[in-house]
Amino acid sequence: MNGNKYTNGEIRNGNGFETNGDSCTYDDLMITAKYVLDRIPKMPSIGIICGSGMGALADTLQDKTIIPYGEIPNFPVSTVEGHAGQLVFGACSGTYVVCMQGRFHHYEGYPLWKCAMPIRVMKLIGVEFLIATNAAGGINPAFNEGDVMLIKDHINMMGFAGNNPLQGPNESRFGPRFPPMCKAYDRDLIEKAKDIWKNQQFDGRLFEGVYTCLGGPNFETVAELRMLKLLGVDAVGMSTVHEVLTARHCNMTVLAFSLITNECVMDYYDHSQPNHEEVIDVGKLRQSTLRRFVEEIVAYIAKNRMK
Ligand code: HPA
């Protein structure tokens, strides 16, 4: 017995290496969801994941309630610089939303189901729409640093290697054993996001493309990037895919975009090297545009897509 009233007697130390931690049971997740619901005035219908350097998306919410991950039973904690590690609730364009300021990555040592566990908590507290953002390296030669790519599809490379957040016994209260993924990213939201970018005349360029997530934490070799390019990947990062799989499993509607923080080094004679500081810096440079972009998308969803 570990004395934590929020667990089912399993030993959870918050870092993902619990002794009996093959999954979070539905009951564990309900405990987590109830704890969160007890601290907020109403249920959010939109969830937003703030990517590296994009935490400011949450800073301008109105009437905020902030819950640090460390206070939430069963929640992992964020260990990456540039990721604050808290849930921020509040109004965005007049709609009540929840932002994850800081997400969980496989390279932090967390299994994929645990990286994506906050998505199930979001579902249980009322979220029906997920807006996932990330920082990514641009593989498509047309992409420059600071560009934005709406994700139209992904290649689940970690899934090819047998690693998937939905592995293990299926929890049918969330979704089916074999969820389809051919419409993972909502087409209407992609089109509307493009319209918004154009109509609002946001600075910089907006593309649409295919994303892949690798395990990290190292950036890719030249040969790996060339292989990804051959496979049709436009941008590469270390997140999002497992969150989207989990969100679609429980039938959330998903929009996702990547901020291209660096152009991938595809040539042995190119002496530039990607680094995390650059990822954070480009995020900061683009955060006010991306915040306005997300606000407009939220306003569209609230007006046209919410029941
Ligand atoms: N590779 C992987 N992840 C990333 C990159 C990259 O080049 N840039 C930002 N996140």
Residue by residue, pLDDT tens for the chain (307 residues) are 333 434 443 434 444 433 335 678 999 999 999 999 999 999 999 999 999 888 888 999 999 999 999 999 999 987 877 667 999 999 999 999 999 999 999 999 999 999 999 999 999 999 999 999 999 999 999 999 999 999 999 999 999 999 999 999 999 999 999 999 999 999 999 999 999 999 999 999 999 999 999 999 999 999 999 999 999 999 999 999 999 999 999 999 999 999 999 999 999 999 999 999 999 999 999 999 999 999 999 999 999 999 8
In the structure encoding, which two tokens stand for residue 229, read together? 């390019």
Q: How remote is the CA of residue 240 from the centroid of ligand 1, in Å?
A: 12
Q: Which residues of 37-49 are buried (b: 16+ CB within 10 A; e: fewer)?
A: eeebeeebbbbbb
The pLDDT of residue 56 = 87
Q: Which residues of 151-177 are buried (b: 16+ CB within 10 A; e: fewer)?
A: bbbbbbbbbeeeebbbeeeebeebbee
| HEC profile of 6-27 | CCCCCCCCCCCCCCCCCCCCHH
Domain-wise residue ranges, the chain: 11-304
Place of tokens 């593989």: 139
- Taking the CA of residue 264 as reference, the ligand 1 atom at the shortest distance is 7
Give the residue, out of 155, 236, 282, with the most ligand 1 atoms within 8 A of its beta carbon, to mutate for a pocket test: 236
Catalytic residue numbers? 52, 83, 105, 107-108, 135, 238-239, 262, 276
Neighbours of 250 (CB within 10 A): 19
Neighbours of 63 (CB within 10 A): 9
Q: How remote is the CA of residue 219 from the centroid of ligand 1, in Å?
A: 6
Q: How remote is the CA of residue 220 from the centroid of ligand 1, in Å?
A: 8
Global pTM? 0.93
Domain 11-304 coded CATH 3.40.50.1580: yes
Give the residue, out of 145, 151, 220, with the most ligand 1 atoms within 8 A of its beta carbon, to mutate for a pocket test: 220
207 close to 148: Cβ distance less than 8 angstroms: yes
- At residue 285, what is the residue type? L
CA-closest residue to ligand 1 atom 7:
137
Angle at CA of residue 259, ends 257 and 263, nearest 5°: 130
Q: How remote is the CA of residue 173 from the centroid of ligand 1, in Å?
A: 34
The pLDDT of residue 12 = 43
Protein residues whose CB sits closer than 6 Å to any atom of ligand 1: 135-137, 219-220, 236-238, 261-262, 264, 274, 279
